[in-house]
Amino acid sequence: MILFGAVEVIFSQIPDFDEIWWLSIVAAIMSFTYATIGLSLGIAKTISNGGFKGSLTGVTAVAGVTPLQKVWRSLQAFGDISFAYSFAYILIEIQDTIKSPPSETKVMKKATMVSVATTTIFYMLCGCMGYAAFGDEAPDNLLTGFGFYEPFWLVDVANVAIVVHLVGAYQVFVQPLFAVVESMVAATWPDSRILSREVKVGPFVLSVFRLTWRTAFVCLTTVVAMVLPFFGDVVGLLGAVSFWPLSVYFPVEMYIKQRGVRRWSTRCLSADAERRVLRRVCRRSRWIHGRRHRRRQVAPAVQWLLEGT
């Protein structure tokens, strides 16, 4: 994580979102790489097993999972899926980098439809084949299930692709935030010499403010990532918190406002909003439940280590 944070500090000094187009392409290629490897390994493992494992109803009670735990896991899955599709809040920034003609909206609409369809197909295939390969023992991280099988080098390639993908994805998501904060600061203190001061480092010219605050932000997010031990539960929480307001509510409200759509059924819209809020609350509840469950699992090991020292 420290090495990842150090790499992100370097890439975060790229001043503009437009200049990381090549990094987003590399991240997309890496995403297809590890998804294809995971899918291929799942198919190969299923063939070697001589058939499909698991069932259409999911984990059975024989595996030590109660019906209530199955409900919690289902809610966690909804949160994970929501996190995978939480790209709406950088959609406008991406669209702003598209040259015209043709119209940016037409290009972005086509790109969104193709990318979402392709992503969904890959997610469905990886999830289904991973469950078919491991059944009730399917791990949270599919690649960890293949860590004890040949070829080891292929799993290593997939893990490297994941790391490279995360490096690019971090920049794609954080660069718009950098731009917003820096534009607000420049508008608030337009005559500040400290904010406009630049330092020449070799062939590069770095802004002191950008170097300081972006480095501090990356360090903070790295520390937060290091102290959160429950990756799957945190992903579900982030998906639950961010997906509904940023991917559903605000885009719909902006469309209604822009197009002047009449609110023909207030009760219906209110009920629909409440239903979505309830879904988000359920996902948060699943995260809290998972966090408590994992904490009970980790606590004995921590106590044993403390007693041993």
- Answer for the pair 54, 138: CB distance below 8 angstroms, yes or no: yes
Residue 129's pLDDT is: 86
Residues 117 and 183 in one domain: yes
Q: What is the pLDDT of residues 193-242, one digit of tens each?
A: 777 777 776 666 677 888 888 999 999 988 888 877 666 566 666 666 66
Report which DSSP code applies to 136. G
- Flag whether the pTM goes above 0.85: no
Residues 96 and 197 in one domain: yes
Residues 233 and 223 in one domain: no
**Alpha carbons 259 and 305: distance in angstroms, whole number:** 62
| Cis peptide leading into residue 67 (ω within 30°) | no
- Answer for the pair 114, 30: CB distance below 8 angstroms, yes or no: no
Report which DSSP code applies to 85. T
Residue 91's pLDDT is: 73
Residue 264's pLDDT is: 59
Residues 42 and 52 in one domain: yes
**Alpha carbons 98 and 92: distance in angstroms, whole number:** 10
Domain boundary among 227, 246, 281: 227
Residue 229's pLDDT is: 62
Closest CA to 231 of 220, 219, 239: 239
**Alpha carbons 126 and 139: distance in angstroms, whole number:** 13
**55 Cβ contact list (under 8 Å, min separation 6):** none
Closest CA to 34 of 174, 130, 116, 175: 130
Residue 217's pLDDT is: 92
Residues 132 and 183 in one domain: yes
Closest CA to 230 of 56, 76, 65, 29: 76
- Answer for the pair 47, 244: CB distance below 8 angstroms, yes or no: no
Residues 42 and 182 in one domain: yes
Residue 68 lies in a domain: no
Residues 214 and 303 in one domain: no
Residues 146 and 293 in one domain: no
Q: Are strands 198-201 and 204-207 parallel, antiparallel or unpaired?
A: antiparallel
Residues 52 and 174 in one domain: yes
* Number of compact structural domains in the chain: 2
Residue 268's pLDDT is: 47
Domain boundary among 227, 262, 294: 227
Residue 201's pLDDT is: 67
Residue 220's pLDDT is: 92
C-alpha distances in angstroms, 146 versus 3, 231, 253? 25, 19, 45
Residue 74 lies in a domain: no
Domain boundary among 191, 208, 227: 227
Residue 76 lies in a domain: no
Domain that holds residue 220: 2-59+86-227
Residue 104 lies in a domain: yes
Q: What is the pLDDT along the chain (309 residues), one digit of tens a residue?
A: 788 888 888 888 887 767 777 877 888 888 888 888 888 888 888 888 888 887 776 676 555 667 777 777 777 777 677 777 777 667 776 776 777 777 777 888 888 888 888 888 888 888 888 888 888 777 777 777 776 666 778 888 888 898 888 888 888 888 888 888 888 888 888 777 777 777 776 666 677 888 888 999 999 988 888 877 666 566 666 666 666 777 777 776 776 677 666 665 564 455 455 445 545 555 555 445 455 555 544 444 434 434 444
Residue 78 lies in a domain: no
Residues 296 and 308 in one domain: yes
**Alpha carbons 127 and 55: distance in angstroms, whole number:** 13
Residue 70 lies in a domain: no
Residue 175 lies in a domain: yes
Residues 112 and 28 in one domain: yes
Residue 69 lies in a domain: no
C-alpha distances in angstroms, 38 versus 61, 117, 280, 290? 27, 19, 29, 25
Residues 31 and 169 in one domain: yes
